[in-house]
Amino acid sequence: MKPIFIAGPCVIENMDCLETVARELVRLRTAYSLDIYFKASFDKANRTSLSSYRGPGMERGLQMLADIREKYHLPLITDIHESCQAEPVGRVVDAIQIPAFLCRQTDLLVAAARTGKPVNIKKAQFLSGQDMKYPVEKCRESGAVDVWLTERGNMCGYNNLAVDFRNIPDMKQWTPRVIMDCTHSVQRPGGAGGKTGGNREFVPAMALAAKAFGATGYFFEIHPNPEEALSDGPNMLYLHDFETVVKSLL
């Protein structure tokens, strides 16, 4: 199975940022014949602090994403947090993502499945790969044709994640498309004084380890300047480093 890549800034900040990232994804797609999805969130509903930036909201955010697809012809994926968002989001994007904290929410999974779009379910930080059988079943029994699963680490004490790479072959029992979230897996949740920290230096190794365990997709948050990113900066890759990581996986 040819791997897919999912990449983009964590949250929609402005069109300049989206277009800068999109141009690089198009270049890499052409250079390496990649199957690559553009990802950015219109709303980060699970930020640590009430004062944290959440995004432009669904209406404006979906229009910005639609503009990116029209101009750069990149397939889109974004996340939803409420079942009422599934139908309007499904009209714009090519795949719908379920956040890790919400992967057991039945109504959300059912609504995503009913759009007819592929549903990418991120494994919760408190679940095993074996446990993901049940979210997959909920989606398939609700009409989903294509269900993906994404590994993103498990809680390991306070403010820390650890990755058990055995989750990848475990989840491949339920679906052939198992994606490694290489950047969220190096987060330090809530570990930076009211916001999430991270260790981006470990991202390339996370990706290669996932490949060794049979991952069939890779998820990266990338940004032209992560130090100025409005969400998840410490675990995001610099845009100019992304090609090196992609080449290592090919």
The pLDDT, as a whole number, for residue 188 is: 85
The Cα 6–Cα 78 span in angstroms is 10
193 confidence band (pLDDT: 50, 70, 90):
low
39 and 89 Cβ atoms separated by less than 8 Å = no
φ/ψ region of 137 (left if φ > 0, alpha if ψ in -120 to 50, else beta) reads alpha
Domains held by the chain: number = 1
The Cα 202–Cα 205 span in angstroms is 6
The pLDDT, as a whole number, for residue 42 is: 97
Taking 80 as the threshold, does the pLDDT of residue 182 lie above it? yes
Q: What is the CATH number of the domain that holds 239?
A: 3.20.20.70
167 Cβ contact list (under 8 Å, min separation 6): 123, 128, 129, 151
Average of per-residue pLDDT across 168-178: 98
The whole domain housing 221 covers 4-249
The pLDDT, as a whole number, for residue 168 is: 98
φ/ψ region of 128 (left if φ > 0, alpha if ψ in -120 to 50, else beta) reads beta
Taking 90 as the threshold, does the pLDDT of residue 208 lie above it? yes
Q: Write out the two tokens for 145.
A: 């044709």
Mean per-residue pLDDT over the chain, rounded: 95
Q: Encode pLDDT of 196-207 as tens digits.
A: 778 999 999 999
116 Cβ contact list (under 8 Å, min separation 6): 90, 143, 144, 145
Taking 70 as the threshold, does the pLDDT of residue 191 lie above it? no
Give the angle 112-64-110 at the CA atoms, nearest 5°: 5
| C-alpha 119, offset from chain centre | 11
Average of per-residue pLDDT across 163-167: 98
108 and 82 Cβ atoms separated by less than 8 Å = yes
Percent of residues, the chain, with pLDDT higher than 90: 87
Instruction: Work out the end-to-end distance of the chain between its first and last CA atoms, rounded to an integer number of angstroms.
Output: 13
